[in-house]
Amino acid sequence: MADTTPTGCKVSIALLHYPVYDKNRQVVATALTNLDLHDIARSARTFGLASYYIVTPIPDQRALACRIAKHWQEGWGASYNPKRKAALDLVRIVASLDEAVADLVQCHGKPIKLLVTGAKDQPNSVTYAETRELLATGSEHYLILLGTGWGLTEEVFSRADYLLAPIKGAGDYNHLSVRSAASIILDRLLGERDR
């Protein structure tokens, strides 16, 4: 019998606030933004992802993320906007990438493949078409990693199973918000192609 599980259910996404670079290429932890939490959760729900991880080692930032998500998952916020609740129900707040990976392994019972994104060309990167085919035919669960600040560190890139080619626009300018990049990436990998 053919597997009828939507491809997106084999995919999760993580927004890393650490380890990332600042503009001076120092490794830092960046601050959570309300928009990133909401908008990437909405994209994750739209494209049928299994989960959306917010990764920050800072306890106060994790507490803030929990408070924002909980407002829309329970009580007045949940009844006022059920669609927002459905999106934020995907959110998992963790202290590290290792914690996100461990959670996914526990949920899915098998190793996770890391698909790392960035704005710069990387050697051996895979195209969107190649990755789309991989997601459609593979049985593994994939975790797409997005960076904040000035991008993911070399340490994160070194852990990648796959490096996704960067999004290219019409010219040299390539400074999309992470929310915009997430939506474009998910549409290219999981969106309908016959429209």
**Residue 68 belongs to a domain:** yes
Q: pLDDT for 108-133, tens place per residue?
A: 888 899 999 998 888 889 999 999 99
The per-residue pLDDT for 129 is 94
Average pLDDT, the chain: 91
The per-residue pLDDT for 195 is 62
CA distances from 88 to 50, 77, 85, 130, 161 (A): 12, 11, 5, 30, 27
Q: pLDDT for 70-85, tens place per residue?
A: 888 887 777 777 788 8
CATH number at residue 40: 3.40.1280.10
**Residue 120 belongs to a domain:** yes
**Do 55 and 97 meet the contact criterion of CB atoms below 8 Å apart?**
yes
Structural domain span for residue 153: 7-190
**Residue 56 belongs to a domain:** yes
The per-residue pLDDT for 7 is 60
Q: pLDDT for 123-181, tens place per residue?
A: 889 999 999 999 988 889 999 999 999 999 999 999 999 999 999 988 888 889 999 99
**Residue 19 belongs to a domain:** yes
**Residue 2 belongs to a domain:** no
Share of the chain above pLDDT 70, in %: 95
Q: How many separate domains does the chain show? A: 1
Lowest mean pLDDT among 10-24, 64-78, 153-167, 181-195: 64-78
**Do 100 and 57 meet the contact criterion of CB atoms below 8 Å apart?**
no
The per-residue pLDDT for 4 is 39
**Residue 195 belongs to a domain:** no
**Residue 136 belongs to a domain:** yes
| φ, ψ of residue 28 in degrees (nearest 5) | -140, 170
